[in-house]
Chain A
Amino acid sequence: MSKISLARTAGQMGVFVAFFALWELAVDVLHVKAVILPPPSLIFQSMLKHWLYLLQNSWPTLIAVAGGFAIAAALGFTIAVGIAYSRWVSELTYPFLIAAQVIPKVALAPLFIIWFGFGLAPKVVIAALIAFFPIVINTARGLISVEPELIQYMKSLGASWSEIFFKISLPWALPYIFASFRISITLAVVGAVVGEFVASDSGLGYVISYANVSLDTDVMFAGIFVLSLLGMLLFLAVVLLERIFISWQTAAEAPPETM
């Protein structure tokens, strides 16, 4: 088992190495200018050279992503509970949620800058807004998908609402919730960076857009790489939490499909 997973990890790393090697080679053979597409070696050098600058600017992005995600999770969960247990809430909010989802929230970024200023707030808001929808939909779906016979059984035993919720519905919905967390954490990264693109003086989005303006393509790529790394680490953190909270799921069945 561990041998297989070790081989798999090695294989996955190999794909990355091969990708960068091919990139390096292509840039060299085709004489692509570093301004257009710097070779990975140059990008890694740039990452080393500017490590403090990149690290310092990772922090605000991380805060915006984590804050936005946390708000999306808390708000999304609450509304999902309302949708799952109250037809009234469900019927009132569903069309609005769909409408809100159809709006490209990236387009709202400049507006939020006007409303919330240049600091952290607008980035958190955009991140939260983008990350919110999958959490609501999946959580509600998970809560609704509980076997009605089980709920009836619990009621016949005299179980209170909170007993049914915490003993049955919530654990039942956890795989759905975590499936949405996986999606939403990456969406939150997008949201935060978009906010930083529009107006900011710090963060990885700012690093990328500033390097872009000054044609420091290698720094731009360094920023993108660090951003990818940040996104991957956050994604892994969610997967790790998932493993801890729903260890029973991994062997039992594949995670539920998500939107």
Chain B
Amino acid sequence: MALVPHIRIEDLSLQYRTKGGSVSALDTVSADIPPRSFVSVVGPSGCGKTTLLKVLSGVLKATSGRVLLDDKPIEQANLSGQVGYVFQRPLLLPWRSALQNVLLTGEVARKHIRPPIREAEARQWLALTGLSGFEDRLPHELSGGMQQRVSLCRALAFRPAILLMDEPFAALDEITREVMQEELLRLWSVTDSTVIFITHSISEAVLLSERVIVMTARPGRVDEIIDIPFGRPRDEQLRGQAEFSGLVQHIRGKLHRPKVAAGAAP
């Protein structure tokens, strides 16, 4: 497995050029993401969450500031085959069975591993998400939650150092969503990956993460970085605790604050 880097984001700013000038998507964002941690980014629409993810995956380049992976600038770090994605939509290949979809990433990123071993591992991932017996089904024969599980298995199957998740459960119904959250925690516990998880849901962020980065919109700024003190393993029980609700309330208060006040942040 690849070594999981320590990610440091330092004063990251990014402006998109538009016809009218430039729009600031990220403004002096700084954060520290230790290896093997689970970090969520919450914030309103347009706060640059996805932009941040794209910078971290090397698709977009920052206008100023930098991202360090183990003290190495991200441009120099060879991220190829190190980053797994889970998108809001499953984005499975409709002509490939569940198993073949999981195998896709390994076919490209883990050519050095023999195919039968990759297949055995892919089957294990599917089994871990309760998809045993569905290996040969095509995506359209699976429910939305199952498709997203396959997508998650596909991202984990090549053992990425970093797993980027962009609102992966946003399109799922409440019940499936809660099941998936627990499943994600279970799967993550058997990997060494750092997870960077983007979400609209405050309780989801608190439940899953070690650290929650709260962002404000236009320009996308870090409002507060909150360490979540709960130990692991965690489960749904946590939602009932006063400390949990307290944290959720605190973050909600941040996000609902009027814009004028947010503008005064340092």
Contact = CB atoms under 8 A, between A and B. Distances in A.
Interface stretch (A50-58, A133-141, A149-157, A188-196): A149-157
Contacts of B81: 156-158
Interface in A209-241: none
Contacts of B140: 248, 251-253
A13 interface: no
Interface string B79-104: 11101010100010111000000001
Contacts of B80: 156-158
A157 B94 contact: no
A150 B91 contact: yes
Nearest to B154: A153
B107 interface: yes
Interface stretch (A18-26, A81-89, A118-126, A163-171): A163-171
Given A249-B94, A252-B94, A156 B79 contact: yes
Given A156-B57, A157-B80, A167 B91 contact: no
B107 A167 contact: yes
B95 A153 contact: no
Contact of A157 (B91, B93, B105): B105
B91 A149 contact: yes
Contacts, number: 56
A171 B96 CA distance: 10
A147 interface: yes
B37 to A, nearest CB: 21
A147 B94 contact: no
A249 B139 CA distance: 11
Nearest to A172: B93
A150 B81 CA distance: 14
Interface string B100-129: 000011011100000000000000000000
- Majority-rule SS of B interface residues: loop
A248 B94 contact: yes
Contacts of A92: none
Main secondary structure on A side of the interface with B: helix
Given A156-B57, A158-B81, A252-B138, A149 B95 contact: no
B59 A152 contact: yes
B85 A153 contact: yes
Interface in B137-167: 138-141, 158
Interface string B59-85: 100000000000000000001110101
Interface residues of B, number: 23
B108 A246 contact: no
A158 B87 contact: no
Interface residues on A, range: 20 to 34
A252 B57 CA distance: 32
Contacts of B104: 167
Contacts of B95: 171, 174, 246, 248-249
B138 A154 contact: no
A168 B91 CA distance: 11
Contacts of A34: none
A150 B108 CA distance: 13
Nearest to B106: A157
A171 B93 contact: yes
Contacts of B91: 147, 149-150, 153
Interface of B: 57-59, 79-81, 83, 85, 87, 91, 93-95, 104-105, 107-109, 138-141, 158
Closest 6 pairs (CB-CB, A-B): A158-B80, A252-B140, A157-B109, A157-B108, A248-B95, A159-B108
Interface of A: 147, 149-150, 152-154, 156-159, 163, 167-168, 171-172, 174, 246, 248-249, 251-253
Given A156-B80, A159-B108, A167-B108, 5 more contacts: A149-B91, A153-B85, A158-B108, A248-B95, A251-B141
6 contacts: A152-B59, A156-B79, A156-B81, A167-B104, A248-B140, A253-B94
